[in-house]
Structure formats: C-alpha cells, structure tokens
Amino acid sequence: MRRKVTAGYPLPVAHTFEFPQDLLDSQAALRRVEDELQSLYDRLPWSVAPQAGWTRSKEAGGHYFASSRPDSPGWTTDEQAQVEALRTRRLELATAVVCHAYWATSDDPPKARSALKHQSADE
C-alpha cells in the first residue's frame, strides 16, 4: 500500500509523493529508535569511562566560557550494550531508508526525502 504525502512546507508549491508502505515503516522505526537512543543518552553519565568532574570559570586559564561537569562513574557494560544495539539498529534503518528503491523512481528525491521526514515527524 502506498500513502500519499503532500509537501507544501517549506516548499512554495505543494507536491504529493506516494511512498511505499515499507519505506514509511522504516522511516517511522528510525524516528522511534533515534528517540529511544536520545532518551538513553539523556539518562547516562556524560562520560563512557569514569572521569573526574571539573568547574572552570570564564576567566580561568583563558577559556571563553564557564563550564562544569560532575564526576562521571562511566557506563556499565549493560548500558554500553544498549547504546551499541540502538546504534546498530539506527544504522540498519537509515540504510534501509536511504538506499530504498523508491528514490530511483522519484522525480525530485530531495523534496521527497524532506516530505518523508516531515511526515514522520508529524505522526
């Protein structure tokens, strides 16, 4: 089944694309995996390996901005495995989207790709 997606924003003239269902499914799965990976990153410590934290003022040592980080206990092996699994899945899905046979048949692949991304973001 193909689904029609109309691209009007930010394009000046609306253009309708009929995406194959497997491409739509891959794009939606890619969005979900990217969201899950970002959520995991947000929960994890800032450093994969244990690291000491720091606090620097703007004026100290010629730095252009103040910065600070708490001590990082690092990631556990389970956390590292979760990240690796999500990164691998993200690569598989991105490859499925980018290398899909649809792009060879599209009259305007850049606009179609933009429409696919916007359609996926709106769901």
Task: Give pLDDT, residue 98.
Answer: 97
From first to last of its 123 residues, what are the pLDDT tens digits of the chain? 555 555 555 545 567 899 999 999 999 999 999 999 999 999 999 999 999 998 888 776 666 788 889 999 999 999 999 999 999 999 999 999 999 999 999 999 999 999 999 886 666
pTM: 0.79
Rama region for 70: left / alpha / beta (φ>0; ψ in -120 to 50; rest): beta
Q: Which long-range contacts (CB under 8 A, 24 or more apart) does 70-75 make?
A: 70/46, 72/45, 72/46, 72/47, 73/45, 74/45, 74/47, 74/48, 74/49, 74/50, 75/44, 75/45, 75/48
Task: Give pLDDT, residue 95.
Answer: 98
Among 111, 120, 121, 107, residue whose Cα is nearest residue 10: 111
Task: Give pLDDT, residue 53.
Answer: 94
Task: Give pLDDT, residue 8.
Answer: 52
Task: Give pLDDT, residue 61.
Answer: 64
